[in-house]
């Protein structure tokens, strides 16, 4: 029961983060972009730290050599998803990376992304509460710049502020479904964590190295100290 409570509280918290897009109304674009780059920098460290310090060691304790294949599967799966649904998130306000892509296509991709986040959070809590908390924090730090970027993209696609917030929040709620699914499946198949935990680590490694680090390289003017956040 404790695992269920922690997991559901965590995924609801992650879903609420989707409403952070409203801050774009109160801050200038330049100032907000500077703050977002700090979050992106911190997110890289959080994702890689959780993958290499928590998830991978726990996975090897439980699964042996097969863990390596699950990590690779996570990296490859996230790469394929990105290619199939153009899932390369914008981490700046006013970014037009998605061009005139249909907002509902973007929301579908984000819904799938959040569903996977829920699976990852649920699997992490099945390992232990501390690992689950660490994973939740890593996901949140990744979600903050992503959700603000998504909000801007929806506005660019023609949504009103209220409609963009509502649909962004609804797409974020798929994380609850992902978490519930993995907890239900784990009650029938205890070995599920041996696959999902290293898979999650692979996903975190891919997001940090293929999505977020390149975003930092685009802004050579930002302070060198941000590299060490």
Distance CA 122, CA 178 (A): 8
* Confidence class for position 87, pLDDT limits 50, 70, 90: low
- Residue 8 predicted with pLDDT over 80: yes
Most confident stretch, 107-111, 130-134, 192-196, 206-210: 130-134
Determine, yes or no, domain membership for 183.
yes
| Higher per-residue pLDDT: 1 or 228 | 1
State how far the Cα of 121 lies from the Cα of 7, in Å rounded to an integer: 7
Q: Which residue has the higher pLDDT, 72 or 32?
A: 72
Give me the number of domains the chain comprises.
Answer: 1
For residue 210, give Cα distances in angstroms to 1, 107, 112, 213, 227. Answer: 37, 21, 18, 7, 16
Say how far apart CA 118 and CA 10 lie, in whole Å: 9
Q: Is 229 among the domain residues?
A: no
Between the ranges 20-34, 56-70, 119-133, where is the mean pLDDT highest?
A: 119-133
User: What is the dihedral angle through the alpha carbons of 201, 45, 121, 109, rounded to the nearest 10 degrees?
Assistant: -80
Residue 227 lies in a domain: no
Q: Is residue 228 part of a domain?
A: no
Determine contact, residues 17/172, Cβ cutoff 8 Å. Answer: yes
Residue 104 lies in a domain: yes
Instruction: Report the percent of the chain where pLDDT is more than 90.
Output: 37
Per-residue model confidence (pLDDT) at position 220: 55
Q: Which domain holds residue 47?
A: 2-222
Q: Which of 130, 179, 187, 201 is nearest to 9 (CA)?
A: 179
173 domain-assigned: yes
Q: Which residue has the higher pLDDT, 59 or 90?
A: 59
Q: Is residue 147, in this structure, part of any structural domain at all?
A: yes
pTM: 0.81
Q: Is residue 17 part of a domain?
A: yes
């Amino acid at each position: 029961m404790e695992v269920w409570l922690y997991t559901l509280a965590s995924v609801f918290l992650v879903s609420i983060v989707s409403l952070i897009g409203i801050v774009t109304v109160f801050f200038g674009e330049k100032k907000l972009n500077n703050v977002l780059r700090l979050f992106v920098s911190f997110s890289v460290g959080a994702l890689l730290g959780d993958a290499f310090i928590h998830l991978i060691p726990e996975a090897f304790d439980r699964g042996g050599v097969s863990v390596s294949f699950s990590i690779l599967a996570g990296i490859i799966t996230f790469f394929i998803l990105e290619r199939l649904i153009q899932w390369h998130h914008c981490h700046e306000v006013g970014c037009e990376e998605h061009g005139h892509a249909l907002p509902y296509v973007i929301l579908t991709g984000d819904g799938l992304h959040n569903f996977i986040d829920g699976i990852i959070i649920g699997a992490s809590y099945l390992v232990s509460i501390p690992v689950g908390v660490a994973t939740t924090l890593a996901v949140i730090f990744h979600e903050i710049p992503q959700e603000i970027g998504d909000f801007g993209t929806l506005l660019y696609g023609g949504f009103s502020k209220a409609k963009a917030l509502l649909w962004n929040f609804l797409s974020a709620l798929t994380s609850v479904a992902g978490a519930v699914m993995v907890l239900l499946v784990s009650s029938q198949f205890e070995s599920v964590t041996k696959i999902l935990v290293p898979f999650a680590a692979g996903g975190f490694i891919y997001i940090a190295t293929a999505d977020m680090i390149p975003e930092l390289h685009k802004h050579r003017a930002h302070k060198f100290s941000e590299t060490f956040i």
